[in-house]
Amino acid sequence: MTALRVGIVCYPTYGGSGVVATGLASALARGGHVVHLFSYAPPVRIAPEETGVRVHTVEVFAYPLLRYPPYDLALASKIVEVAENEGLDVVHAHYAVPHAIASFLAREVVGRSRLRTVTTLHGTDITLVGADPSYRTMTCFGIARSDAVTCVSEHLRQETLRAFGPEREIEVIPNFVDGDAFRPRPEARRADPSTFVLCHVSNFRPVKRVGDVVEAFARVAASVPARLLLVGDGPDRPLAERLARSRRVCDRIDFLGEQPDVSLSLARSDAFLLASETESFGLSALEAMACGIPVVGPSTGGLPEVVVAGETGLLTPPGDPGALADACLSLARDPDLRARMGAAARARAVGAFSPRAVVGRYLDLYRRVLSSA
C-alpha cells in the first residue's frame, strides 16, 4: 500500500496520551510511513535516531505583552510549515486540548482537500480539562470539526457522549503495548523470592489515589514480607511519603521517581497495584500485563475493558484500600494463582492489544478520512 505522511501531535510527558502517541509514531515509521511528531519538547519515550520519526519541537515566542504565550498558535504554525514544505496527509491530535484546535487551524490554512485531521480522546481531556468552562466550548468545537474522532475505551466514549453530546460517530480504538519491550524477565527477579513485590506506576495526581496504594500496601506488609516499587512523580508524592512514614513502611517502599524504562520495574514485581478514582483505559496496567504480572485495581472506568476480573487480575470496589489489600494478599499467598493470572495477562496483552492489531485500525481510519476528502 502507498506510504502515508502522518503528523502526530502530543504532549512529551510520561502520561498515557504521550506514551501511546509516540508508540504509534514509532510503529508507523517502522511500517514505512513518513511520520512527523509535534510537541513542545522531545518526548520521553521515543528515540528519533532509532525510529526514523521526525521530531519538531514547537517554540513559543515570549514577549511581555503576551502574558500567556499562545502555544496553540505556535503549534498550528509549525504544522502548517511542515505540511507546506514537506507534505502531510493526516494530522493526528492526541488529547483534545489544545491539539485538536491547533490541528483544525492548520487544516484551515493548508486546505481541507490537502490535509485531514483525526483526534484521539484519552481521558482527562474530556473528564477534567475539557469539562472546565474555560475550555468546554473549544473542546466541543474540536470534536465536531475533526474529520474523525476516536476514544481509547468504550467507557470514555460513553463519558464523551454524556458530557458533550457530540452529533457524530466516535470510534473506540484501544491503546496498545509492545510485547517485545514489555515482557517477562525472569533474570530481573530479586534474589529473595519470599518477598512479595508490588509495583505502582503513575503521575501521582490526585485521581490516582496514591495514598490508597500506600495504605493497601501497609496492610499487606503487616501480614507478609512485602515491598512496594513506586514509579513516577507528581503532586501527591509528598502525601505518599508522609503516609509511608506514619504507617512505618518507609523502609519497604522504593520511591523510584520517573524512569525512562518502566518495564524493568514491572518485570521485578509479582503484582501491579492501582487505586485510581477512575481510569479511562489503564495503560500502565496493560504494560504490567504484558510483563506477565497480574493486576490488582478498582473496577472503575475503562479498566474492566483491559483487565478480565478473576482471569488476568483482581478488581475491587473503588475507594477501598482494605479490599485492595485483601486481593493482593490472595496473590501473595498463592503462587500458582499468581502464575496462572500472569500467564493469562501476558496472553491477553499481546493478543488483543498488540501494535499490529491496533496500529492497523488507525491506518484504516486514516485511509477512510483521506478517501472522503
Q: What is the pTM (predicted TM-score) of this model? A: 0.92
Residues 347 and 366 grouped into a single domain: no
Residues 299 and 327 in one domain: yes
Both 149 and 241 in a single domain?
Answer: no
Q: What confidence score (pLDDT) does residue 16 get?
A: 81
Residue 23 sits in the same domain as residue 169: yes
Question: What local confidence, expressed as pLDDT, does residue 48 receive?
Answer: 61
Listed as ranges, residues in the chain with pLDDT below 70 are 1, 47-50, 190-191, 373
- Pair 74, 153 in one domain: yes
Q: Provide the pLDDT for residue 64.
A: 86
Domain presence at residue 54 = yes
pLDDT recorded at residue 191? 59
- CATH number for the domain harbouring residue 326: 3.40.50.2000
Judgement on whether residues 204 and 289 belong to the same structural domain of the protein? yes
The answer on 156 and 190 residing in a single domain is: no
Number of domains in the chain: 2
CA 174 from chain centre, in angstroms, equals: 10
Q: How much is the pLDDT for 126?
A: 83
C-alpha 270/C-alpha 288 separation (Å) is 10
Q: For position 1, what pLDDT does the model report?
A: 64
Q: Are 91 and 49 in a shared domain?
A: yes
Dihedral sign computed on CA atoms, order 20, 24, 25, 27:
positive
CB 286 within 8 A of CB 175: yes
Range of the domain at 44: 5-176+354-371
Find out whether 67 and 48 touch, Cβ atoms under 8 Å.
no
- Is 346 inside a domain boundary? yes
- Residue 152 and residue 205 in one domain: no
Among candidate residues 31, 355, 343, the one with its CA nearest the CA of residue 175? 355
Q: Are residues 35 and 138 in the same domain?
A: yes
Neighbours of 86 (CB within 10 A): 12
d(CA 216, CA 211): 9
Domain-located, residue 68: yes
Cell 499481546 maps to which residue? Answer: 350
Confidence at residue 102, expressed as pLDDT on a 0 to 100 scale: 97
CB of 83 closer than 8 Å to CB of 108: no
Same domain, 74 and 191: no
In a domain, 181, yes or no: no
pLDDT attached to residue 190: 64
Q: Is 311 part of a structural domain of the chain?
A: yes
Same domain, residue pair 245 and 320: yes
Instruction: Please indicate, yes or no, if residue 204 is contained in any of the structural domains.
Output: yes
Q: Tens digits of per-residue pLDDT, 71-81? A: 999 999 999 99
